[in-house]
Structure 1
Amino acid sequence: MKKLILLIIINLTAVFGFAQESLSAKYNLMPWPKKVQAHNGKFVIDSSLTISINSKKSERVYHASTHFLRRLTDRTGVFLNEGFPIENKKGGIHIQFDEVSKLDIKNNESYTLTVNDSTIKISAKTDIGATRALATLLQLVDHNTKEYFIPGVTISDEPRFVWRGLMIDVSRHFQPIAVLKRNLDAMASMKMNVFHWHLTDDQGIRIESKTYPKLTALASDGLFYTHEQIKDVVAYADRLGIRVIPEIDVPGHASAFLTAYPELGSKDDYDYAIERFSGVFDPTLNPTLDITYTFLENLFAEITPLFPDEYFHIGGDENEGKHWDENKSIQKFKKKHGLKTNHDLQTYFNVKLEKILNKQGKKLMGWDEIMTPDMPTTAVIHSWRGENEGLAKGGTLIEAAKQGYQTVLSNGFYIDRMQSVVDHYTVEPIGDVKLTKAERERILGGEATMWCELVTPLTIDSRIWPRTAAIAERFWSPKEINNIENMRKRLKVVSFQLEELGLTHIKNRAVILRSMSNNQDIASLLNLSNLCEPLKIYARNVDGIEYKTYSSFNLFADACVTDASDALKFNEAVSEIVKGGDNLGVIGFLTTWSNDYKTFSQLEKNPKIRPLQPLFKNLALVSELLSKALQTKKISKESLQTIQNTMILLREPVADVELVIVDALNDLSSYCESNYSIK
């Protein structure tokens, strides 16, 4: 009987998965809802459209409703008669919710959404759930030649994880308020609910301290957020249903702290200075000094009231303890207190910090280095280390949950590593690990992390989006929603909607290329950028010493993005040829690249674009030879040898990018050699 029941459940799950996958081919929703049911009918969008909200007052719902109307009218061109949410009568879109949320991990974000010919009804437990429903509704907008409409559908939805975050590092490269706000808007549109604000590091202190003014006077280059600006961002995020978690990174990553207050350092007579390079550095707070804890207690007492959330991130990562090892008084302290290792000493430090934060009503959170045998389970472990740790193999995420810690996953979601969206989308946070109910509840969710060593306000959107939309789906949607081809289809639409929202991830590529070429014709450069991707996993800045804080980030590599669009199309087209398909599309690509090189050759060269000339020339040569072979169905031994020799050159990185069609070109060459007559 048990086997029969299990079989029925498996079959129902399979049917559900098939039904949802079929619907996901029809609608471009992201993240995909828990349950979608399509039915006949459609709600036509015309000038009579109105929104009404039940009697509960919520600034969040009012804001989301007016924002929805603005985006709807911009998208459809419809002129609304009333426009803003109406009162004392039901609108065509009616929003009903039960309570106004206090933002925390217990917040209910579920909703139901029903669309028929005459009405749209949104029902939610909380105002946050209602705003999530409006985000979904906007993604449902469709059209034919005569009208815009929303198709008949019923959606029941709730998130898989309660913590769905994005971390932005503003220390390595400062990000202005406008940048943060537009990314908060994008997060809300993808139903993300935690903004992790990395405010300090070796390269600068980015938060004002009136208690310790030298922090910004000496260690910020004048680039920091005032208390009022912090409050403004927190309020802006709250209105979007997003919690803000600050990070003050200690005891390592402390160069900027010690530039301002060297007496807190672990090495005497050390010339502390703000770091201009990237990497891991030796300066570390001295955990044996009372003044260190006085400093942190006073600083936290000043800062914590700016952030209402109960969680406070203290970093705690990458402290190699070199200066601790070199300090005799610290070694004596360790021996006196029975601290055998630097990890033990850091735990001593973290336990004292937890007590300091507890006085402020905060819960300590830190990177997974803080998880040591003596660390209280009241701390929150942020899992980041190791290839695939925290996934099906277990690792710090699973280990932390099993040991009684709340935990959040970022390993696999380091978007600054410039990996494909597929690499992130296929990360399954829990895998097939067997967990008790209590252990599962302690896995709060995950965060995408945007470390900004190589990222400026000009490029940050293109490094976060659209990949983070797919990561948001991994955090929100059921585990079974994992079809890569379908995800790509929906993500392409969502990417343009994010630009509509105000992000610059698409348009700033042209801005960079125009700057590179001194405002010449950028068509050929744009086509080349669609075949190239920035070097991955920190290969662009080996050991953190090629680029400094004020190096140029307005180069070809900064115009290129992961998942280069034309490369994906070309690689798929070549795959079809190898299987016996049509070659016209491939010939079209090859011809374009040959012509592009001719256009590029006419440009007035400068030091920014000159390094691309050999790459372009070699691509054009291979393209011409392969195009000729495909059209004549003939190829000479000399041509094959030229292609093979040139392919060796094309595999080499140029200007911090790699040409990501090389394997496809090689496959095409092998196909020609195997199938065509050789002269």
Structure 2
Amino acid sequence: MPLALVAVGFVVVALLANSGALADDVNLWPMPVSVSRGSHTLYLSRDFALKTDGSKLSGESGILKDGFERMVELVRESRAIEGHVKTSGNVLAGLHVVVSSSDDALYYGVDESYKLSIPASGDPIYGHIEAASVYGALHAFQTFSQLCNLNFKTRTVELHAAPWDIHDQPRFSYRGLLIDTSRHYQPLSTIKKVIDAMAYSKLNVLHWHIVDRESFPIEIPSYPKLWNGAYSYYERYTVADAQEVVQYAGIRGINVLAEIDVPGHATSWGIGYPSLLPSAKCQEPLDVSNEFTFKVIDGILADFSKVFKFKFVHLGGDEVDTSCWVTSPHVKKWLVNHKMNESEAYKYFVLRAQSIAAKHGYEPINWEETFNNFGNELNPKTVVHNWLGGGVAPKVVAAGLRCIVSNQDKWYLDHLDTTWQEFYMNEPLTNISIPKQQKLIIGGEVCMWGETVDASNIEQTIWPRAAAAAERLWTPLEKLANDPKLVTARLARFRCLLNRRGVAAAPVSAPGRGAPLGKGSCLEQ
């Protein structure tokens, strides 16, 4: 097999043949639905411009304009572009963007499709983007940015292989990444860097597992003592901080899914409000017998609804050990009076929390234990979040409920022995062949649980393995490689691109969050 050559500017690095490459050597990640290209080189104008005539969304729209400016900065890699292009007829003057919707609201299921075409000639030459929404246009910008290369000899930005014709849309509407800010606090600057890399990878949901038994770092105005459960005075998020995360993600086409994990995983709630817990010695699950428990949940979700505008809220429901309810005398008495056993009380709690969420305009997402225990008794709008392993998703969709796939054996980023190849090959529709049921798999999510990550190492633990899953969730099944060796070179290039953009992505050859083993090119590690 011949060597695969990957060009970056004027540097050409030979990759070993067993690392593989696509036959047509299209170095885009994730791979679009369809791609065709030519053989001409264009040079980006120093005054590279955005044109929006004919678009229902004005070029003055903050999201479109800001997205374009961020893309241009990425292409130039924060370097001074000093070169002057003297050759006539090969200067790319800018991008002409036509968005067919004047609505720039971000919501679940928004049309993210786009068409990107770049002619090889014209007077002047403009690339063309057609998108149903501004968020499709943002994805087109990300794809365009990967077509560009710095020429270090001429100090210009080049775009090779014009003309390009790319048609693209995501395979799944939900493409998520979970971060956990309870086990370790993550600064706002770190969360923003994670969001940036999600946009580069075309992921579109940041699942913010904000609180857990270890800490309660977020401000809840309705119940201000809750964040007494933060690790320290400084490891907290104000309402304004949460709004900033939502806004930062939103203008990049990323929804923020907030989670409160109830009734288990909630010991930290009792630091500010001890009566929420069954007793001082037996602290989980939350006290099902206390009406105050549900008033607090109601207050949290009321406050969340003012900040987190995503259609869904995550209510947890996993790993609930109900033994505290029968060993705490007042809770046991309540169970007897209400003629409930432990399992029935667990169901009562989950369904009541779902009802409170619905009151605040949310559709509930719950971890799979709720389905495993209660099945069709859940709210019919429930999205079941699979995590324990394979085999659950087919049962969920057969029952008519929607499902998000995050099976821990393949898509848990804290499992450092799970390789990027396993992330890439994990198929959400395994053993689901009926089209109606396939549609109920709304997507998947990779999970970065926080026990062993903080700001010092979260990026290299997430990337590039999350990007491997991102292609699985974006690219049509028939376009995905049957052998991850065939995409190794392309993923290596994308990982190097992340590094150049300031993302601390680990080497492709390293397990988990490994470091380079020795000297050499980024592309070979």
Same fold (TM over 0.5): yes
The alpha-carbon deviation at position 76 of structure 1 amounts to 7.2
**1: CA distance, partners of 2:270 / 2:386:** 27
Confirm or deny: 8 A CA contact 1:166 1:196 kept in the other structure.
yes
Q: What TM-score do the two structures reach when normalised by structure 1?
A: 0.66
Q: What's 1:164 paired with? A: 175
Q: What's 1:295 paired with? A: 296
Equivalences for residues 35-114 of structure 1 within 5 A = 35-54=34-53, 55=55, 56-57=57-58, 58-74=61-77, 77-79=80-82, 91-99=93-101, 100-114=103-117
Q: Deviations over 1:129-174 (max 9, x none)?
A: 0010010011112467666224222110000000001110000000
The alpha-carbon deviation at position 220 of structure 1 amounts to 3.7
Confirm or deny: 8 A CA contact 1:30 1:491 kept in the other structure.
yes
Equivalences for residues 329-408 of structure 1 within 5 A = 329-342=330-343, 344-371=344-371, 372-373=374-375, 374-386=377-389, 389=390, 395-408=391-404
Confirm or deny: 8 A CA contact 2:22 2:487 kept in the other structure.
no
Q: Deviations over 1:608-641 (max 9, x none)?
A: xxxxxxxxxxxxxxxxxxxxxxxxxxxxxxxxxx
**1: CA distance, partners of 2:38 / 2:509:** 41
The alpha-carbon deviation at position 107 of structure 1 amounts to 0.6
Cα distance change on mapping 1:435 and 1:101 into 2, 3 Å: farther
The alpha-carbon deviation at position 364 of structure 1 amounts to 1.3
Structure 1 or 2: more helix by fraction: 1
Q: What's 2:14 paired with? A: none
Q: What's the secondary structure of 2:411's corresponding residue?
A: coil
The alpha-carbon deviation at position 106 of structure 1 amounts to 2.1
Confirm or deny: 8 A CA contact 2:114 2:136 kept in the other structure.
yes
Q: What's 2:503 paired with? A: 503
Out of 228, 236, 239, which is 2:248 matched to? 236
**1: CA distance, partners of 2:392 / 2:76:** 47
The alpha-carbon deviation at position 416 of structure 1 amounts to 0.8
In structure 1, runs of 5+ residues without a counterpart are 1-20, 82-89, 273-281, 390-394, 510-529, 535-559, 573-679
The alpha-carbon deviation at position 213 of structure 1 amounts to 2.0
**1: CA distance, partners of 2:486 / 2:24:** 7
**2: CA distance, partners of 1:165 / 1:453:** 19
**2: CA distance, partners of 1:60 / 1:133:** 14
The alpha-carbon deviation at position 336 of structure 1 amounts to 4.7
Q: What's 1:211 paired with? A: 222
**1: CA distance, partners of 2:412 / 2:519:** 23
Equivalences for residues 186-585 of structure 1 within 5 A = 186-222=197-233, 223-266=235-278, 268-270=279-281, 283-342=284-343, 344-371=344-371, 372-373=374-375, 374-386=377-389, 389=390, 395-411=391-407, 412-418=410-416, 419-437=418-436, 439-480=437-478, 481-482=480-481, 483-505=483-505, 561=514
The alpha-carbon deviation at position 531 of structure 1 amounts to 9.1
**2: CA distance, partners of 1:336 / 1:568:** 70
Cα distance change on mapping 1:47 and 1:294 into 2, 3 Å: closer
Confirm or deny: 8 A CA contact 1:383 1:410 kept in the other structure.
yes
**1: CA distance, partners of 2:108 / 2:509:** 42
The alpha-carbon deviation at position 24 of structure 1 amounts to 6.0
Equivalences for residues 119-138 of structure 1 within 5 A = 119-138=126-145
Confirm or deny: 8 A CA contact 1:284 1:321 kept in the other structure.
yes
One-letter amino acid matched to 1:93: L
Q: What's 2:3 paired with? A: none
Give RMSD over aligned pairs. 2.7
In structure 2, runs of 5+ residues without a counterpart are 1-19, 85-91
Cα distance change on mapping 1:78 and 1:262 into 2, 3 Å: same
Q: What's the secondary structure of 2:444's corresponding residue?
A: strand
Q: What's the secondary structure of 1:249's corresponding residue?
A: coil
**2: CA distance, partners of 1:135 / 1:150:** 16
Confirm or deny: 8 A CA contact 1:187 1:193 kept in the other structure.
yes
Confirm or deny: 8 A CA contact 2:386 2:403 kept in the other structure.
yes
User: How many pairs align?
Assistant: 474
One-letter amino acid matched to 1:415: L
Q: What TM-score do the two structures reach when normalised by structure 2?
A: 0.84
Q: What's the secondary structure of 2:445's corresponding residue?
A: strand
Confirm or deny: 8 A CA contact 2:394 2:431 kept in the other structure.
no
Confirm or deny: 8 A CA contact 1:42 1:115 kept in the other structure.
no
**1: CA distance, partners of 2:34 / 2:21:** 12
Q: Deviations over 1:425-465 (max 9, x none)?
A: 1111102422242x222211011100010111010001001
Cα distance change on mapping 1:328 and 1:436 into 2, 3 Å: farther
The alpha-carbon deviation at position 498 of structure 1 amounts to 1.2
Q: What's 2:159 paired with? A: 149
Cα distance change on mapping 1:400 and 1:567 into 2, 3 Å: farther
One-letter amino acid matched to 2:438: R
Structure 1 or 2: more strand by fraction: 2
The alpha-carbon deviation at position 322 of structure 1 amounts to 2.4
One-letter amino acid matched to 1:61: L
**2: CA distance, partners of 1:446 / 1:568:** 35
Of the two, which has the highest radius of gyration?
A: 1
The alpha-carbon deviation at position 501 of structure 1 amounts to 2.1
Q: What's 1:546 paired with? A: none
Q: What's the secondary structure of 2:48's corresponding residue?
A: coil
Cα distance change on mapping 1:178 and 1:269 into 2, 3 Å: closer
**1: CA distance, partners of 2:24 / 2:517:** 20
Q: What's 2:193 paired with? A: 182
Q: What's the secondary structure of 1:255's corresponding residue?
A: coil
One-letter amino acid matched to 2:94: G
Q: What's 2:10 paired with? A: none
Q: Deviations over 1:406-439 (max 9, x none)?
A: 21111121011011101111111102422242x2
Higher relative contact order (CA 8 A, sep 6+): 2
The alpha-carbon deviation at position 74 of structure 1 amounts to 2.4
Percent identity among equivalent residues?
29
Cα distance change on mapping 1:259 and 1:111 into 2, 3 Å: same
Q: What's the secondary structure of 2:35's corresponding residue?
A: strand
**1: CA distance, partners of 2:142 / 2:23:** 16
One-letter amino acid matched to 1:126: S
**2: CA distance, partners of 1:60 / 1:48:** 20
The alpha-carbon deviation at position 469 of structure 1 amounts to 0.8
Q: Deviations over 1:8-67 (max 9, x none)?
A: xxxxxxxxxxxxx98565122111101111234333224353222345233221111001
**2: CA distance, partners of 1:22 / 1:317:** 41
**1: CA distance, partners of 2:229 / 2:414:** 28
**2: CA distance, partners of 1:25 / 1:455:** 38
The alpha-carbon deviation at position 565 of structure 1 amounts to 6.0
Confirm or deny: 8 A CA contact 1:115 1:151 kept in the other structure.
no
Cα distance change on mapping 1:101 and 1:331 into 2, 3 Å: same
